[in-house]
Amino acid sequence: MSAAEAAAPDAPTGLRRALILATLTTTVALYAMTLTIANVALPQMQGALSATQDQIAWVVTFNIVATAVATPMTGWLTARFGQRRVMVYGVLGFTVATFFCGIANNLPELVAYRIVQGLCGAPLVPLSQAIVLDVYPKRLHGMATSFFGIGVVIGPIFAPSLGGYLSEIYSWRWVFFVVVPFGIMSFIGVWVFVREGSKQAGGNLDWSGFLALSIAIASFQLMLDRGERQDWFESTEILFEAAIAATAFYVFVVHSLTARAPFLNPRLMLDRNFSIGLLLTLIFGMLNFTPMVLLPSMLKGLQGYPDSMIGLLLAVRGAGTLAGFIIMLFGNRLDPRIWLVIGFSLQAIAGWGMAQFDINATTWDVIWTSVLQGLGVGLLWVPLTLITFATLEARYLAEGTAVFHLLRNIGSSIHISISIALVIRSTQVNYSDLSEYVSPFNEALKYPWARGLWSMENTAGLAALSSEIQRQSTMIGYINAFYFYAATAAFVIPLVFLVRWRRQIA
């Protein structure tokens, strides 16, 4: 035991630390479970709720946005109500909202309940992480973070396969109902094992900063989600939303720099490692969930995979992530910059591999790229946490973890929206380009061996040909989105070398 630990009479014992770590890991697993279990049922939800591809993505993006907006409130909520009360009511509200997601009758209702789910779940991950970092000394942060991170991947391993089978046998509603018992178990665990920590100084929320940031994030996300449908800046609506987002963000920045007690303390950004870590975290968020949103619709819509099979294919990504965390249990003593380079490189390779898919992509193609992408996620989580909080003062931990997860969530929602817009736009452009070759003036189509089974001599033949062109055009759209994913991962690698690292011994 270090001198610092011995000097702290209220420091938790090893057994209590383990119980707290296990409870908070379970809570994070619950949160991660709802993120991934819904993705596998998106194609079925789209049909059942009569939604388009960009509309059904709101089930994911608005949940992430709600989480992003509420996440920075974690520090204030903890200071005002205490960490135990925030955890208890957060898990309870999250579980109740999940049940109502399962009984939603239309898309607006489902999106509304997902927003409530995101608002209630927002404090769970950053506060859990702050508690873990607080009860363990810095010399054990790598080990504790590795075990804590397992909670992030337990959900992605079991939830997609379970959700796939339930949605195929029953309906998409069961991907939410099955989470409720786990929520009740998590509620009991938090109630029994999590004890009240010391409250932070200050109890007033900077409502001006909070509202300005919330409006900026919500308007920007709405612009991204509605942009492709409204033809982007040719639309008055999109221009209006962009103007609101820019104005609100300007107000937030100016207010944060001039207010006596701002919503988010700008002094946090004076820490070099913390600032660079946040940028890396933003990119990490962009890479985290995008394939899990794109792959189900691609496999279901273009290749006719059943929900159960899609769930299994998504689950192998979680297996790769778990392997990454297991590696980090032993590798966290190495320079975290090495693991950051390896992790982002694996993400780039996985994205490049997905970009090589064609309309006849095999199950093995999906498996190896998903495992590689998941492995990259598992290798990145621990070093990202270590370098981001290595030099941050302990009194800023709650606020720092809130900003950490805020940017991670914003990155996810932004990249998902842009990727889906890229798929839709690429599909339209390529359909137009490919259709030009389907013409009586195309000499190649006069020969049976070139035309194959396609016919332009009757309505049924033209409809079938149009359907195949649409299918091929959509595949090109997904390929472009995967190239974008690979480029994002490759772009961030040089930034890793800006990080300063010194081994933590305290």
Distance CA 346, CA 369 (A): 9
Q: What is the pLDDT of residue 453?
A: 63
- For the chain, list the domains and their CATH numbers: 13-205+263-430+472-498 (1.20.1250.20)
* DSSP H helix total and E strand total for the chain: 22, 0
Tokens of 243: 């103007």
**pTM across the whole model:** 0.76
Distance CA 271, CA 160 (A): 39
Distance CA 347, CA 440 (A): 45
The answer on pLDDT for 209 being more than 50 is: yes
Nearest to 397 by CA among 145, 25, 118: 145
Distance CA 68, CA 61 (A): 10
The answer on pLDDT for 114 being more than 80 is: yes
Looking up tokens 């994070």, which residue turns up?
Answer: 28
Looking up tokens 């993120």, which residue turns up?
Answer: 35
Could you give the dihedral angle defined by the CA atoms of residues 409, 413, 419 and 422, in that order, rounded to the nearest 10 degrees?
A: -150
Distance CA 245, CA 252 (A): 10
Distance CA 153, CA 322 (A): 6
Helices (H), 289-396: 290-303, 307-331, 336-355, 363-389
Q: How far does CA 447 lie from the centroid of its chain? A: 50
Counting beta carbons within 10 angstroms of the beta carbon of residue 39, is it exposed (0 to 12), middle (13 to 18) or buried (19 or more)? buried
Tokens of 482: 């995967």
Helices (H), 71-121: 74-81, 83-102, 107-121
Quick: pLDDT tens for 66-87: 887 787 777 778 878 888 888 8
Distance CA 296, CA 160 (A): 10
What percentage of the chain carries pLDDT values higher than 90? 14
Q: How far is CA 223 from CA 16, 61, 215, 414, in A?
A: 47, 12, 12, 10
Which amino acid is it at 336? P
Quick: pLDDT tens for 294-348: 888 888 888 888 877 887 887 788 788 888 878 887 777 778 888 999 999 999 9
Average pLDDT of the chain is 80
The answer on pLDDT for 141 being more than 50 is: yes
Nearest to 151 by CA among 35, 377, 322: 322
DSSP state letters, 215-263: HHHHHHHHHHHHHTTTTGGGSHHHHHHHHHHHHHHHHHHHHHHH-SS-S
